Each structure stands twice: as C-alpha cells, then as structure tokens.
Amino acid sequence: MRFTKIKKTKEDKIYLEYQEKNSHEEYDNFMMECADAPLPDFGRSLNALAPDIGTLCELPKNSWPRITAKSVSLSYSGEKEVMGAVISGAMELLNSNSPLNLNTPFKASGSYNDGDPDPRQVMEYQTKVRIEKLCDEAKRYLRGERLQGDLFKKDEAKEKTEKK
C-alpha cells in the first residue's frame, strides 16, 4: 500500500487516497473520508511537517509558528518508484482574517537514477522521515485504530463473558 494524498479537511475529517497492487501487479486506487477522530500521533505527525513548509517555501523562521500543515500529496516515479511530495498548509497572517495558503515545491525523496541527486530537487532526509511517519499513522487509521478505539479488535473481555 502507498498513499497519494493524506489530508485533514476543514471539517476535521480525515481524507486518504491510496493505492494497492492487484493480482496483475498494477495499482488500484482507493479513497476514504471519515469523521472519526484519529489517534493523537496522526495529528502530531501532520503538524510536524509545518517547519518543513517554512523551510521549503523559504519563509523567515520567525513565521514558522504560524504555519499549520494540512495535507501531503505523494507520487512515485521512475524504475525505483521514488516517492515525491508536495506539502500543503496555511499560515496565519498578522493583518488579515484569512490565512495564506501554502504549497511547497515538489521534492523527491531520492535520486531517480543512479547518479547523485541534485540537492535542489531532493527533500531533506528528516522531511522524508516525517512523511513516512505520517504514512504509518494513516495506515493505522485505515486499519481502524482511531481515537474511540480499534474498530476491528474484538472486545476480548466481552467475548469471555459471553462464552460463560
């Protein structure tokens, strides 16, 4: 499974687009949007990308605390299916009641070929790690691990009581 979009909507819903390989080794596309609250680590993982938005958009460091990460759009290219990403967010403005919407430049997670990557085309290693962490949290969300509890785990105590 690989994600192509991870987003927290204006309505605080979780929106996920992802791909899974089918029996023909081709990717099928899926999406889900759900109002169930995610685990706290999902929000922390998404928010951890806010400084990356500031860095990639070359904004002054003193503006970074006003940035909120909203989504990540992912793609995969080349023989090695190198991941690339655009991170989207919003920055609260000091003299406006509407935020500034921000989209980072597209950055690949590595080189598309065997040569050394151009540093201007490749994301920082820590940005890649943070995106991978967010993808892990999105997988947990898809599996039903959400704030109200695991949707797919059976209540073992209840089962034991019912068997008696």
Burial class (CB in 10 A: 0-12, 13-18, 19+), 63: middle
pLDDT of residue 113: 75
Domain, as residue range, for 63? 2-163
Q: What pLDDT shows up at residue 152?
A: 58
Residue among 108, 64, 83, 66 nearest 5 (CA): 83
**Using CA atoms, how far apart are residues 125 and 111, in angstroms rounded to an integer?**
12
Phi, psi of 67 (to 5 degrees): -95, 135
Residues 6 or more apart in contact with residue 108 via CB below 8 angstroms? 77, 82, 83, 84, 117, 121, 122, 123
Domain count, the chain: 1
pTM, 2 dp: 0.85
Token pair 């003299």 is at which residue? 95
Low-confidence ranges of the chain (pLDDT < 70): 149-164
What is the residue whose two structure tokens read 């969300």? 141
